[in-house]
Structure 1
């Protein structure tokens, strides 16, 4: 029976408050939805912070600190802090919370790329806050910067100095070769947890054939030393997750990636998406990994080695 890790990405930095009343951006809502997602079966919680005044993406450790202890007290899920933050943040800002809280896991984007969200501004809506529409429209000239020097610095500061393991986010085929480069430099140790990202304009489209190729290439580059997971934006979320699971991979859901639970129907919570995918995986004969199983599979240092509680 395959054991499958479910990651739930709770809020992210892409969707804005006007897009769904169920997107958590206040700290109490991020905490409550995170704990509920863990209770529904989420093994790993992938976390960003929002400014509690208006829901804009935030790198302020105080904003993370307003929900992280409550999550750690309410569940045993692995806490994974983003080092991607938002493409409009500097590298130093993006790392502030991870450096402060020393989590078991961090996400790490494996390259610089266009990160275009502007088509999301075309749908007519009543904007709740003044920052939302200009932020989205401005992404037609936005580059997410993660150079080899940036990546090496994150691996050193978060990995070697603070003992975090990484969710290596690969938005393109070249990102796999970049990961191999850092393996060859001795900055990354197995097992490698690769998160293939589909559906962001500027990265790979959500095509099952592309995933097939990526997994074959990862086997060529890393042998048996890697595990992979898949996230796909919007309507591709569940089909690509199930394709990944059939290939022996792991899955990611959450309101960061998709606001819907079915066509034309907003998800009421992150837990609703976790419940849906967990049920589908169980119907396929999969066992959902517990946090302790995931810690063993990924070689994590343990929650007691963080500065969250």
Structure 2
């Protein structure tokens, strides 16, 4: 009997954590590229990418910022590139899909609903900050609604359809699964879809294993055999939930976007360290890690030769 092939996604930098929180968090193009390549070498077959301002680590969705590292990564590794269509809690969907329209990656993330998305409690952990923008950005996140209305989702799906992009449908609560089912029913997305169950973000579903089972059962009922799935656990639940998902037949996502730790109370040294740890766990528990070629086959991707970077 063939062993299960588990896809590891690595989310390299994201838009939540700031430079003060970890010296390992990459924000220059050189560091983003270097950590992405190292993560791929450690076993990640998908690299989920955001951009940062190189002078102070702030979040940016400027396509030129992506252009500073995408070619380097694609030349150094065969990993699948996944560009975020989130990236900012304050920009419109038109602005957030601009990098994807320019670079036509194999994959993009897609939040399946609007939500309160907040990380303001992190502001209380630090007395001093490396850069002036950080504290207000973190503390003020309780004012934000991460907007992805049905109109926004349709807009993004329609504009990106010509690029044959596979979406990582990010579902932060059970209602997002129903949103995705509706969008499939009206023809926005074709099966098989790739769903990222997300746990532990303030504003979304909690990180209990019971909730993982509930989300999986709901997805089974809504999508049958027409989906593939993965799990993202935020913060300290990253490794426990990824381990559970791998044993339930799912795929996993790790990376400094989602958690700065390698174990409870200990900061990770790099994205590659997190990838290496979950790979070791997966393999020791009897599964195998999917190569980029196998990930492309499992998810039905268009291929690296059809991107524009």
Match of 1:287 in 2: 288
**Residue pair 2:94, 2:156 contacting (<8 A) in 1 also:** no
Deviations 1:142-198 (A, max 9, x none): 10000000001111111x211100000000100000000011011111111100011
Task: Give the match's secondary structure for 2:197.
Answer: strand
**Residue pair 2:42, 2:276 contacting (<8 A) in 1 also:** yes
Q: Give distance in 2, aligned partners of 1:184 and 1:90.
A: 25
Match of 1:246 in 2: 247
**Residue pair 1:87, 1:142 contacting (<8 A) in 2 also:** yes
**Residue pair 2:83, 2:107 contacting (<8 A) in 1 also:** yes
For structure 2, the 5+ residue unaligned runs are none
- The match for 1:54 among 48, 53, 56 is 56
Task: Give the match's secondary structure for 1:210.
Answer: helix
Match of 2:91 in 1: 89
Task: Give the match's secondary structure for 2:97.
Answer: helix
For structure 1, the 5+ residue unaligned runs are none
Match of 2:41 in 1: 39
Match of 1:267 in 2: 268
Q: Which moved more, 1:80-89 or 1:36-45?
A: 80-89
Match of 2:29 in 1: 27
Match of 1:124 in 2: 126
**Residue pair 2:200, 2:234 contacting (<8 A) in 1 also:** yes
Task: Give the match's secondary structure for 2:196.
Answer: strand
Match of 1:16 in 2: 18
Deviations 1:25-62 (A, max 9, x none): 00000000000000000010000000111111100011
Pair 73,125 (structure 1): closer, same or farther in 2 beyond 3 Å: farther
Q: Give distance in 2, aligned partners of 1:20 and 1:273.
A: 14
Runs of 4+ residues over 6 Å off in structure 1:
none
Q: Give distance in 2, aligned partners of 1:268 and 1:232.
A: 19
How big is the shift at 1:125?
3.6
**Residue pair 1:18, 1:125 contacting (<8 A) in 2 also:** no
Q: Which moved more, 1:124-133 or 1:143-152?
A: 124-133
**Residue pair 2:207, 2:237 contacting (<8 A) in 1 also:** yes
Give me the TM-score of the superposition, normalised by structure 1. 0.98
Q: Which moved more, 1:217-226 or 1:83-92?
A: 83-92
How big is the shift at 1:86?
1.6
**Residue pair 2:9, 2:46 contacting (<8 A) in 1 also:** yes
